[in-house]
Structure 1
């Protein structure tokens, strides 16, 4: 339970709402959940969600997971994801969030990097047996002691979390809820390679505050999240915004436009969190008339260098806040004005929440580094995780500590307006939606396929890049990449050009 002299965690935020609104709708599944995982959609009040969270927390304790150990979670945007994260925190665990497209190679690397003790997934997600993926990855990760999942037909050796909720244990482990403790681990790719990025509860809450206050999400709002949750930005924009506003969180597994529109109408959602290119497309299709309940749209830009050239926002009923995402390093939001709907100017220095209120709380700080790149500092930024490597020739000389993260995004200052313009993404890193790769890694995988094989990233307006591959025998190349345990982005790059995308 919450201790009076400690800082808040996600679970204490949840329990504060529970004490006031036990019967209010807390979480709602995608309407097409049966297609995604095979299970029926759930709608849980705060009281019902609390019972499920306590049951899952007791299961983790009964499974022998020590306090402060890491539990990996690979789940889609469904109610069970939120329940698992909150249950892990209630049991004193740290959650490592794994993207859905990760396959065995990435899973094993991340499990070993974090020394995870358990992994949680669903039996099937979008037709793929993630239960089998988890079991195979666990066999290669020596730290894993417990594999569990939601859904039916789980493989032998995998514990059922549905049964844990239905037949709850009375086990309780006293946990001091302290926001300064580690809450999540997400994963990023920088020029130095793959890295784990741990964050405290306070850091995660700071990210949610930056978005909710900048976009002026009202207390008690019904938030529709159509953004994958397996990242810092995904968690901050959905779970944290929901817990800060104390309303309802409706989930959508990206992406089915008809289902999304149906859900927004059914729940009278007033806030939409979605990829920004998708939000702008909905605006072109008449968002004002088709989704009249919306008042706020938070558009998530995985490629923030594209914001300045984006189309103007025209919806009269809803404002748009551009959320600039810089991998797992951090984010900031800038709400567009109603006058012209153009992206707001972004200036260096502290940005409060909201920006137009002098003396408002500092959500973060934007700066230009001496390298001509954009830097971030503030409570949400995990500085230590991005600390530069020491120079190999002077390892005994202490480096001056740095209180900001260099995002490696090229930026320049417009001296006439004082605005910062983000001009290019990090060199040598390819982003495909929410997945980042080193360009050298793509070349290495292409070489492994033999002479004449090529794997490259091409510019794409919507997702930053898209992968394309060429081999003497594309079918054999796909089989080889599957055998290596690589994710579908690389495998499907070698699809035959005449086939469907």
Structure 2
């Protein structure tokens, strides 16, 4: 580690480059090698068929090196894209760190994506490899990955965790002996490290980000929430998006503590896990947190100090209930697709914080805090966002787009309707982007829903209905719902669309 650091900083007197995520991880390994680092969900056997595992920092470092060596031995060159579709287990986080250590670019594939979405994403990013598990929640993801790889000409390697992998899939083992001969590239925080996927009014987009972007997102959450250094974080967020990865992996690296994972969702198991792990910080979708505190499920957790709630529907924050957990603070994290995020910690009254447009720091209530971002209300009444985590170039609008005529060139128009309160000047986010439907972490073009419905039969309908928990939920209607489900599954669409046509008679 020291040799890599010296080579990175050089001796020319130039200012040192910002650390990569792997650099931050290695510092924790050197400082506290035998402290618990990663803990699997207790129900991992149900999810993947494998027993839960817990690793210390030194054990996790060996696993990262072993996986990085396997990627290099497979012939993946520095800078190539490796796609990942894994559950919220330690394999996900180890694979991301290993890919970055090997100089690869990680493409995050949401777990509910099936063959149609997978093939499109692999081709859009020219991915050279894909990593998945043999099975996740009873679904044969190994078979999905192999079939999607056939339709992506750039794919050279298909890796898998678990047993009974199909022929042609390369098995991965976190417990393999590290290959000390594998040459590791020098880390560079300015290099593209991550690709996530978003849907804009112009269609799907692949959003590249550097280590610097990811660190900025994690710092904004870490500082605003006041995460306890060295504590135990329990994350119930799937890390298949910029926000999911920043709030879990990056926040954990910055804290130098222990990250315990919960595969979404089992409320009773989550509460049991929080108590057994003496959780200090809980990271989860905000609507789930509100339900847990309303039911009193979080009342008997004396160790809990911070709750971080992620709002995929930020227009719902102001109308949310007050936070009632006296010992723990709640930080609302406003998410704007894959564009960016910002956090606002609630005061002692438990009500959402008042937001003012303009530059904001992390934490917000600290004078002179480092600027985390900047918000504006554009001339067309939408929210514009910029900051060190916002990939402005990736969202540059086309010349005839309404966004091109509204937000300044150094801001990204999020599309969320926004206004300023006449009395206080406070920022109010009032509605999601027009033409887009968000079901949890999945976004669709409204027109696409109708196009898929037309493929089924005359008179078939697929629409999105408002839902307090996930923003929207999909509902479908066809003359024969069972045949509609079979047809959508055969087209390789994700379960959100398939199950929209479930039988509701019961």
TM-score tier after normalising by the smaller chain length: over 0.9
Would you say 1:456 and 2:463 are equivalent positions? yes
Residue 99 of structure 2: aligned partner: 88
The alignment status of 1:140 with 2:147, answered yes or no, reads no
Query: Where does residue 352 of structure 1 map in the other structure?
Result: 361
Is 1:474 the counterpart of 2:485? The answer is no
> How many Å apart are 1:257 and its aligned residue?
1.2
Q: Distance in 1 between matches of 2:408 and 2:123?
A: 28
Aligned equivalent of 1:190? 200
| Mapping of residues 8-407 of structure 1, within 5 Å | 8-162=19-173, 165-338=175-348, 340-391=349-400, 402-407=409-414
Q: Give the superposition deviation at 1:496.
A: 1.0
Q: Is the 8 A contact 2:292 2:298 kept in 1?
A: no
Report the alpha carbon displacement of residue 415 of structure 1 after superposing the two structures with TM.
2.6
Q: SS state of the match for residue 459, structure 1?
A: strand
Q: Is residue 498 of structure 1 aligned with residue 498 of structure 2?
A: no
Q: Report runs of 4+ in structure 1 exceeding 3 Å deviation.
A: none
**Distance (Å, rounded) in 2 between the aligned partners of 1:216 and 1:197:** 28
User: For each residue in 1:383-411, what CA deviation from the matched residue of structure 2 results, as whole angstroms up to 9, or x when unmatched?
Assistant: 0110001349xxxx9x9981111100000
Shift of 1:54: 0.3
Q: 1:287: how far off?
A: 4.4
Shift of the alpha carbon at 1:103?
0.2
> Alignment length, in residue pairs?
493
Deviation at 1:168, TM superposition (A): 3.7
Q: CA deviation at 1:219?
A: 1.2
Q: 1:426 aligns with which of 413, 433, 442?
A: 433
2:13 match: none
8 Å CA contact 1:288, 1:317 repeated in 2: no
Distance (whole Å) between structure 1 residues aligned to residue 66 and residue 169 of structure 2: 17
Cα distance in 2 between the residues matched to 1:492 and 1:289: 35
TM-score normalized by structure 1?
0.96
1:353-378, Cα deviation, whole Å (9 max, x unpaired): 11111111011111111111001100
Tell me, what secondary structure is at the counterpart of 2:112? coil
Q: Which runs of 5+ in 1 are unaligned?
A: none
8 Å CA contact 2:407, 2:413 repeated in 1: no
Q: Deviations over 1:203-246 (max 9, x none)?
A: 11101111110011121121110011000000000000000111
Answer yes or no: is the 8 Å Cα contact 2:293–2:299 preserved in 1: no
Q: Summarize the Cα distance change of 1:76–1:288 in structure 2 as closer, same or farther, 3 Å threshold.
A: closer
Aligned to 2:415, the other structure's residue is in SS state: strand
The answer to whether structure 1 residue 414 and structure 2 residue 421 are counterparts is yes
Instruction: String of CA shifts for 1:251-297, please: whole Å, max 9, x gaps.
Output: 00010112111211111110000000110111112245322211000
What is the TM-score when the length of structure 2 is the normalising length? 0.95
Is the Cα–Cα contact under 8 Å of residues 62 and 171 in structure 1 kept in the other structure? no
Give the Cα–Cα distance (whole angstroms) in 2 for the partners of residues 263 and 169 of structure 1: 35
Query: What is the CA-CA distance between 1:498 and the residue it aligns to?
Result: 2.3
Gaps in structure 2 of 5+ consecutive residues:
10-15
Is the CA contact 2:73–2:182 (under 8 Å) kept in the aligned structure 1? no
Distance 1:284 1:123 in 2: 38
Q: Deviation of residue 169 (structure 1)?
A: 2.8
Structure 1: distance between partners of 2:474 and 2:366: 43
| Distance across 1 between alignment mates of 2:228 and 2:282 | 13
Across the aligned residues of Structure 1 and Structure 2, the Cα RMSD in angstroms comes to 1.6
Checking the alignment, whether the CA contact within 8 Å between 2:228 and 2:281 is kept in structure 1 is: no
Deviates more, 1:142-151 or 1:400-409: 400-409
Secondary structure of the residue that 2:375 maps to in structure 1?
strand
- In the other structure, the counterpart of 2:12 is none
CA distance in 2, matches of 1:237, 1:150: 24
